[in-house]
Copies of this chain bind each other. A is one copy, B any other.
């Protein structure tokens, strides 16, 4: 039943406007138990806009879609393209891995991983975004497959990664998975 009208400065691309109305529809329905059919969101572009003593005529750039940023980052990491991955990492980027390992560079991650398994690949099952205003979180879950250090294979090992993005860059990745459950015990 909610009707949501957004007034924006002109200039945001169609993709961002479509994303905006979709996010707002989802956010409204997290509080109001309205059906999709009963939830209307639209954008009006203002012809002139004044706030805080200034008149604006053009919108800023939209933020990139957080899930897309994470996907691009994971792709780059998966193909060991550190330069590509670095484009999505904030200056204070930090990773936390199972057992509480904290690392800041992808090289550290490679060294640490080499003590645990030979190869690993991620199959992403879902990406869920949590919109928090100043930051957006992306929760990425699915399964891991690969080979242990002794050469035996594993697959279907559950994982959950949480990414914290600010201004379109990843500041923090936290990882949980079942490798500790699955790994062969000495």
Closest to A185 in B: B185
Are A50's CB and B33's CB within 8 A? no
Q: Is the interface of A mostly helix, strand, loop or mixed?
A: mixed
Contacts of A31 in B (CB 8 A): 16, 19-20, 23, 62-63
Are the CB atoms of A59 and B40 closer together than 8 Å? no
B2 in contact with A7 (CB, 8 Å): yes
Query: Could you tell me if B49 and A21 are in contact, using CB atoms closer than 8 angstroms?
Result: yes
Over the window 119-139 of chain A, the binary record of Cβ atoms lying under 8 Å from chain B Cβ atoms (1 yes, 0 no) is 000000000111111101101
Chain A positions within 8 Å of B, measured between CB atoms, are 1-10, 12, 14, 16-34, 36-53, 55-57, 59-63, 66, 96, 98-100, 128-134, 136-137, 139, 141, 156, 158-160, 162, 167, 174, 176-183, 185-186
